[in-house]
Amino acid sequence: MKYPYLLRGLEVTRANQVWSSDITYIPMARGFLYLMVIMDWFSRKVLSWRLSNTLDGYFCVEALEEALARHPAPSIFNTDQGAQFTADDFIEVLKAHEVKISMDGKGRCRDNIFVERLWRSLKYEEVYLKGYADAKEALEGIKAWLLFYNQVRPHQALGYETPATIYRRSLVAADAKEGRQAALGARRQSTGFESPRAPQRQTKQTTTTKINVDMRCLM
């Protein structure tokens, strides 16, 4: 089943409004591994990730379930149209959490631009420099780099703050807003206060008298 791209023209203003995901290959001395991440678009924070030696979709489902267990569900989840993301197992997890599904157009990697930038940084700052000998080295190196990326590495687009800082601040702001709204609702309920309503405009009613004319009298 095809899903529309929902991010075109969308203003992303808070954490957990949009998550996105993608898969990239990780070269080793012999062979490749496949890395999948889930990123929060607002903060650029990597919420979960998995490394696999096959493209079986199960490792993507695992990462998705972990992200949903550790964080509030997003409003929208965006991916490409790869088999791992269109598989029933993956889609059903999103539907169970009432998440809107968005998918890039075919061949449009820029529709998921923030994850693409993550891949570039990861590979040039870590993967290509280290030249992993095996999966264990790759796992340890990527784990350390993603921790550095989330917690330490400042981002120019984030005002030189870290993704973790921006994500946490957005959650605090959302909780405070929700608390204020709940307190206001409770106060209104306890005092019987209601927001003033605009006065109703009174219209002048006119009485119309209907006159039946016998046309025969006018002939």
Is 102 in contact with 6 (CB distance < 8 Å)? yes
Q: Is the pLDDT of residue 141 over 60?
A: yes
Per residue in 149-207, pLDDT (tens digit) is: 999 999 998 999 999 999 999 999 988 876 666 566 656 666 665 555 555 555 444 44
Q: What one-character DSSP code corresponds to residue 67?
A: H
CATH superfamily of 18-170: Ribonuclease H-like superfamily/Ribonuclease H (3.30.420.10)
Is 64 in contact with 72 (CB distance < 8 Å)? no
Which of these ranges, 63-67, 81-85, 91-95, 215-219, has the smallest mean pLDDT? 215-219
pTM of structure? 0.80
How far apart CA 81 and CA 86 sit, in angstroms, is: 6
The domains of the chain are located at 18-170
Angle between helices 135-151 and 163-191 (to 10 degrees): 50
